Amino acid sequence: MTDRKALDATAFAATLVLGAVWGVYQVFVKLTVQDVSPLMQGGLRSIIATLLVFAWALWQGVTLLERDGTFAAGCAAGALFALEFVFIYFGLGHTAASRMSVFVYLAPVLAAVGLHLFVPGERLTAGQWAGVLLAFAGVAAAFSEGFFATRSSTLLGDACGVIAGALWASTTVVIRATSLARASATRTLFYQIAAAALVLPLASWAIGEPGVVSLSGFALVSLAYQGVIVGFASLLVWFWLLRRYLAARLGVLSFLTPMFGVVSGVVFLSEPLGARFVAGALLVGAGIVLVNLRA
């Protein structure tokens, strides 16, 4: 399928569900950190997801590795994806889950710009550009609050979130602007999570994390949620959406995810909300509306 559609009810509903799934998962990471260190959580999540994708491919009769011209692009997307989660999991050790949720979702702004430049049919109108800029200003406003945080490493964690967002945006552009645009969602996902399954445990070891300290009941539930729901099912749906709908619209609509992340961080972790952070979230919401207005 080569023609992408504008958002319809199916895409909107699917993106809302994905937003909730992705917004809550960082809370699970924070709540599990006493049992399993952050980067090791990411590694275990990726290993679980890789095994599930392999089983899914066997069931669907999808060949994951073949000479179809996607290997180089797949390796590039995999490297970017793995690095994205290195920064996310490392950053969660230094900043609030609610803040990380907002900064990672700078990705749709950068992806929309990249797709506008490199992918025909993904052009943004002047009004949509205004929405992109407004959403970007919202992220900047939220970031500025880190300068007044009581925890000295908050800015480091926030910066990791921004870098992760840039890496996610780059992954989206690679998927849409290369031979991966013709590949199945299963193969595209496999390239990325397989790379993460290799990189994240090594990164955990390299920075001296304790790794798996204990496997409590909650830790097992958390790892299952991260691996099965977040790492496998949700990403399979996401790449399915990318192949059928205009990615720039999908990406900016997914700014709803940090809203779920903020709410879950406040409810489950009692994370504080400052005025700048709230203002930034509102600007992001306004940007969503503008970007998704039809020309």
- Alpha carbon distance 76, 179 (integer Å): 12
Tell me how far CA of residue 207 lies from CA of 36, 125, 141, 224, in angstroms: 14, 44, 31, 25
Paired tokens of 151: 């925890």
Q: What is the predicted pLDDT for the residue at 39?
A: 96
Crossing angle of helices 107-118 and 126-144, in 10° steps, is 150
Q: What is the pLDDT of residue 142?
A: 81
Q: What residues have CB less than 8 Å from 130, skipping those under 6 apart?
A: 290
- How do residues 46-86 score in pLDDT, each as one tens digit? 999 999 999 999 998 888 888 888 899 999 999 999 999 99
Torsional class of 213: left (φ above 0), alpha (ψ -120 to 50), beta (otherwise): alpha
Name the pLDDT band for 122 (thresholds 50, 70, 90). Answer: confident
pLDDT at 181: 86
Other beta carbons within 10 angstroms of residue 17's beta carbon come to 11
Region 24-28: mean pLDDT is 92
Over residues 3-9, mean pLDDT: 70
What are 238-273's pLDDT values in tens digits?
A: 878 877 777 666 755 666 777 888 889 999 999 888
Task: With a cut of 50, say whether residue 295 has pLDDT above it.
Answer: no
Work out the end-to-end distance of the chain between its first and last CA atoms, rounded to an integer number of angstroms: 24
pTM above 0.95, yes or no: no
The pLDDT-based confidence of 274 (bands split at 50, 70, 90) is confident
pLDDT digits (tens, 9 = 90+) for 125-136: 888 889 888 888
* pLDDT, tens only, 81-102: 999 999 999 999 999 998 898 8
What pLDDT does residue 254 have?
A: 64
Yes or no: say if 206 and 66 are a contact pair by the CB < 8 Å rule: no
Q: Which of 114-118, 173-177, 191-195, 222-226 has the lowest mean pLDDT?
A: 114-118
**What does the pLDDT average to over 119-148?**
81
**259 CB contacts (<8 Å, ≥6 apart)?**
19, 23, 281, 285
Mean pLDDT, the chain, integer: 86
**Per-residue model confidence (pLDDT) at position 205:** 96
Which residue's structure tokens are 């490199």? 118
Tell me what the mean pLDDT of segment 187-206 comes to: 95
Q: Which candidate, 265, 260, 222, places its Cα nearest to that of 96?
A: 265
Strand pairing partners for 36? 212
3-state secondary structure of 120: coil
pLDDT for 42 beyond 70: yes
